[in-house]
Amino acid sequence: MYYFIVNPNAGCGKGGRLWRAVAIYLEKHQVEYEAYLTAGRGDARNIARELTDGNREPQVIVAVGGDGTMNEVLDGLVFCGPLTLGYIPAGSGNDLARSLKLPGNPVKALKRLLTPRHYRMLDYGILTYGTQEVSHRRFLVSAGIGFDAAVCHDLLESKLRQRLRRVGLGRLSYLISGIRQLFKCKPCKGYIILDGVKKVEFNHIAFISCHIQPFEGGGFKLAPRANCSDGKLSVCVVSHAARRKLVPILLESLTGNHGRRKGVRTYECGELFIHTERGLPVHADGESCGIQSDLQLGCIARKIRIVG
């Protein structure tokens, strides 16, 4: 049975438009399905949980939306029976689709789901944060602290982004927000502990980005070596005294060539602890996880089956 979880507002209404094309195809080909439309934040997570909790029969759960919708679906899944995850990208950033080279055309993506030729087993990450109350959040693309998360927080609240998305310039909002946050960015001291043993200290952390997939932020290839099925997190730490040096680093990250720049360090690990001297914004797949100074991240190997 196919279950579609649709964010009609993703990509400023693209989710709704693509869904109509998908629904027409499903009706025409008499495919048995159920569809659930989200009305706001957290809905996709709740729907995914209700659909999977206690269900032992084979299910195909398809998210129609952006990376945020897919993140909520992943975060809500309860692994009881054989489960396949599908994705029809309809966001403005679409880093998951870009990383996995999924078809942009919704009907093409749907056909691939209905007649799968092969499957892939994907890793996902778990972010643990919070002092009084500990929270966990799964992620499929990346999670991070500092500048990149500040951009995500800014975008989630930005009215300009809504306007730009309406005229099909959603990706431009990433650039504008990036420049705005660059001026606000205040690097701070901190350290990371890799796999519980290797401690590395930094004096000017601008951001730390932990990846399952290579891309984030609408096309920045911050972790070019990330392999989504190796059970490891690919970590990029940017720590530089001069804030303006972030610009060439970010520009080079568009092609994944930033690794050789001064101030950039990359690591691979199964588990990562991050401590920053000051609380900094945190995100998981572009969704806000508040302001934190201590984070624990882990990688769950090859748990998500998707149509490849």
Ligand X SMILES: Nc1ncnc2c1ncn2[C@@H]1O[C@H](COP(=O)(O)OP(=O)(O)OP(=O)(O)O)[C@@H](O)[C@H]1O
Burial readout 226-235 (b: 16 or more C-beta within 10 A, e: otherwise): bebebebbbb
CB of 240 vs ligand X, minimal distance in Å: 27
Q: What's the min distance (Å) between Cβ of 182 and ligand X?
A: 20
- Residue 43 pairs in a beta bridge with none
Least CB distance to ligand X at residue 215 (A): 11
Q: Does 178 bind ligand X (CB under 6 A)?
A: no
- Structure tokens belonging to residue 32: 């048995």
Tokens representing residue 87 in the block: 């994705």
Smaller CB separation from ligand X, 210 or 269: 210
User: What's the burial of 281, exposed, middle or buried (CB within 10 Å: 0-12/13-18/19+)?
Assistant: buried
Nearest one of 142, 115, 166, 96 to 272, comparing CA atoms: 142
Query: Nearest residue by C-beta to ligand X?
Result: 66
Write the DSSP symbol of residue 84: E
Taking the chain, what is the end-to-end CA distance rounded to the nearest angstrom? 19
**Spatial contact of 141 and 212, defined as CB atoms under 8 Å apart:** yes
Other Cβ atoms within 10 Å of 305 Cβ, number? 16
Q: Is 163 one of the binding residues for ligand X (CB under 6 A)?
A: no
CB of 82 to ligand X, least distance (A): 26
Residue 9 touching ligand X (CB under 6 A):
yes
250: Cβ–Cβ under 8 A, 6 or more apart, which residues? 178, 220, 258
Residue span 189-228 as binding mask against ligand X, x where in contact by CB under 6 A, dash where not = ----------------------------------------
- Please identify, using beta-carbon distances, which residue of 11 and 281 lies nearer to ligand X: 11
Alpha carbons 266 and 239: distance in angstroms, whole number: 11
Could you tell me the smallest distance in angstroms from the CB atom of residue 259 to ligand X? 25
Please state the closest distance from residue 232 (CB atom) to ligand X, in A.
24
Q: What is the x/- site pattern for ligand X, positions 270-289, by CB under 6 A?
A: ----------------xx--
Q: Tell me how far apart the alpha carbons of residues 266 and 194 are, in angstroms, rounded to a whole number.
A: 11
Nearer to ligand X, 87 or 267 (CB): 87
Decide: 299 and 142 in contact? Cβ < 8 Å: no
Considering only residues 60 through 89, tell me which ones interact with ligand X, judged by CB under 6 A: 65-69, 72
Smallest distance from the beta carbon of 195 to ligand X, in angstroms? 30
* Binding segment (CB under 6 A) for ligand X, from list 36-44, 114-122, 208-216, 296-304: 36-44
Binding mask of the shown chain, residues 83 to 122, with x at each position contacting ligand X by CB under 6 A: --------xxxx----------------------------
Q: Measured between alpha carbons, how far is 225 from 192 in angstroms, rounded to an integer?
A: 20
Interaction site with ligand X (CB under 6 A): 7-11, 38-41, 43, 65-69, 72, 91-94, 286-287
